[in-house]
Chain A
Amino acid sequence: MTLKSLNNEAIFEKKKRFRERVKDFFSVTSTYIFSSFTLIALIAIIVFIFSRGYSTLSWDFITGDYNPTTYVIRTDTESDADRLDNTFDYTPREGEYFSSLWGIGFMDEENNVGEKIVIISYVDPNANINNIVDADNNPFTIEAGTTVNSALLYNDEGRVSIRIDKGAQEVAKRFDECPYILQMSLTTGGDGIRGSFISTLYMIGITMVIALPLGISAAIYLGVYAKENKITKMLRNMIDMISGIPSIIFGLVGGIIFLPIVGGNGNLISGSLTMAFMILPLIIKTTQESIKTIPKSLSDASLALGASQTQTTFKVILPNSLPGILTSALLGISRVIGESAALIYTSGVAILDTVSPTQGSATLAVHIWSLMSGETQNYEASCAISIIILIIILVLSIIIKLISFITERKKRRRG
């Protein structure tokens, strides 16, 4: 080799190395850019949802009724017990207006669709002995947080009608002037998600009861009994294809097939049936994957010990694919919790407080849809529900990871 050719080679090497380094640089930076972009998007979603929804989220929100309760109350004029001869002493908070005659504080607020309202923000512990009765003449206790819809008071000069739209200050002033309530309408509670939460639980339960046995038997059939031929191959491909169908189409088909059966606009059962068919491919595939990982030597051992194929299936294959079955169930539950499109047509969008499987009612995800599809959108409540859904799904995926971690470790120990 001459010196010159050696030199040439060195230059070539150098060039090649340079080119490789440039290539590395670009691939590394692009990886960084794209992954940080993904990360930022994820964080943005979580921050947005949490910041908007956090303040709404509370135990009352989760366990409360969606429909508010309205009471009409008045002073019981027939009873001559405790008149308002005392005055109450209380230092109101900022923005709070106190009626010392009634011992009640009022505050201006906005409801979650942005309208100005007046709420009762404070009730003195001794204030409720004022002979207030509801429409059925039962003694009534006013609670803090109640919204005042309207009030008609009375004093020596006659009736005093209160303009709620003038704000809390005006309301408190009028209450101080009048010792009697002729008629006052109050609203408490509302906007809770208990009904939707229970609907979601029903939906999960019924869906799993339908989908798990079907899915597991199909997976066993395909993974254990079915002979490898054109029909089973087609079946497998079809299962793959079904898992790609958009959920709204499942909703349409479910509506066409199941609504005539259950009648009306559908109920939780028709919704669950639709969901069951939607998650069936998922369950079949996940279960089948886990059946595939069971060593053939185990089923061989079972058969060689004189066990029938059925005994082998139930004693060896099923117990050993339990982690996979569990994982498929949890994945299915995640799908059910997050699904809205397929349910709008099949189990209705009505948000109910008392839920029954034979009635149509919104699940949590459909609840969000309902809140957002009206004329005024309620971002706060929607984000609060989203937080709940996200947390449940997070917990489910942690469990799934845990299951796969444990089974992996077991497998490794088995060697």
Chain B
Amino acid sequence: MTVLGALSSLARPAPATPRDRPVLRERGQREVFCGLTGIVWLHRKIQDAFFLVVGSRTCAHLIQSAAGVMVFAEPRFATAIMEERDLAGLADTNEELDRVVDQLLARRPDIRMLFLVGSCPSEVIKLDLSRAAQRLSTRYAPALRVINYSGSGIETTFTQGEDACLAALVPEAPQAPANAPPSLLVVGTLPDIVEDQFRRLFSALGIASVDFFPPRRSGEIAPIGPNTRFLLAQPFLGDTAQRLASRGAKRLPAVFPFGAEGSTAWFKAAADAWGIADDHFQRVIAPPRDRARRALERYRTALQGKSVFFFPDSQMEPSLARFLARELGMRPIEVGTPYLNKDLVARELEQIPEAVISEGQDVDRQLERCRAARPDLVVCGLGLANPLEAEGMTTKWSIELVFSPVHGFDQAGDLAALFARPLARRDLLRV
């Protein structure tokens, strides 16, 4: 056995308690994006924010490539690429950063919030971006707020970048007074159309005060206080949840709103916290839930009984596996996730009893397991998809699950379609 192999969980089994099932922990080559990738969707959401990565050419190239080469004409993100002079101490990095920010703001005077995003190089040379953010905030107040977080690959994996960003945004929220009426905060970047659907449903349930985090505009961050209850819309927001809790907000535990069941349970968590009568809840939820069920029915035949293997990517894997198993009858074989936050996904794990849960990655070993298992569908990243297809497997690119609207009742069918399409296509093709 190789040294990396020896580090894997086979040698260090996780303690198995009833709630805490064995997890295959692996340490080897990881085939995942870093947290910078989150900028691709975050910058679309907060419309007056700009994301400035302080990093290397690699970082700039990553974001450009992950975004699918230049979809957006003039994006609200850029990279301050560090050069030899910055590293050799020939240039004062702080002065350089100020100059770049000046240059940026001259081009984009419409920007109200600037994120300085740390990268591996900036972390390794210990560039203090939090101090830089403070300095720049003071300098540009009140027109601009400057906030920093790290999306570096040595600390964050893919969606953890959003977690780091939102966690950094929590202190920016105004304090809600202790006697404020109860309010609901939905946490996690959702497409506008999904937010609007959710808002309508909450309002029909009788929850009037609903805010979304992050907001569409940086000036619209909802106040947070002891009477704030929050629902996570994404399973990868552990740090954000902790920060919110430290400001007195209370998390409403629930499975995540994927599929008809998942969405029902998620809304139910809020309804219960607001003391909404069950018959009213059923009346409001029934129409969209039935719509979602009908939409899912269309894909059930295609997916029922099919096995699925998840490579780690977004931390959404346990939730998606639960959705596929419970609502479409699929059989998860391995559910890989870059990081397992058991607190947040405990309820999901209970509902996928058969699957191997793996955390971290040793990609070559995982590929061997995948080949041996011959699953009907492999959910994996863009680097692995075509090579696996060429080996005769059917794959679904995981990144689409992050980039497309998949939450809630009205997207349940679309979510199922993402998994059904590759299989349907394989049946269709005669070449």
Partners in one complex: no
What is A's interface to B at a CB cutoff of 8 Å?
A: none
Which residues of B approach A to under 8 Å, CB–CB? none
